[in-house]
Amino acid sequence: MIISKWIASACVCASLAIGCGGGSGGSGVDGTLELVELEADEVSDLCGYVIDQLGPTREIACPDGTLTIEAQTQAECEADFDTLPLTCTATVSNAEACAEAIGGLSDDELCSGDALPAACAPLFSASCSGQ
């Protein structure tokens, strides 16, 4: 079974940051910073947090086949920041919240391939997707 497009995209986008509100979130990076503003050490901290939230590579037995969720490496996550358009206004807090939402999905929710968690919407906005 091929992983749902939004799950794959969300994992990439979530690997760009997470949180809810200002201040430092779970990553320790200032949640108000826009993703395109981050320094290399902040990207590294955020990626470490996101990877922890999303968990390891795993397979889930779904009713219509096996769903494979592949974990990103630290290097892959950090490289994703280079693909963000400068127009992206998503913040660290947005990325943290998205990763937390995806990491909190049950196997049944992942198998369903339903809508992207609402917390991920800022990462899929036109300004961040380059569309």
Instruction: List the beta strands (DSSP E) in the chain.
Output: 58-62, 65-69
> What is residue 100's predicted lDDT score, i.e. its pLDDT?
94
22 within 8 A of 101, measured Cβ to Cβ? no
pLDDT above 60 for 14:
no
Closest listed residue to residue 92, CA positions, set 26, 3, 12, 10? 26
Question: pLDDT tens across 38-83, in order?
Answer: 999 999 999 999 999 998 998 999 999 999 988 899 999 999 998 9
Q: Which residues contact 29 (CB under 8 A, 6 or more apart)?
A: 17, 38, 42, 45, 46, 92
Question: pLDDT tens across 87-126, in order?
Answer: 999 999 999 999 999 999 999 998 888 778 999 999 989 9
Q: Which residues contact 98 (CB under 8 A, 6 or more apart)?
A: 10, 13, 14, 17, 18, 117, 119, 120, 122, 123
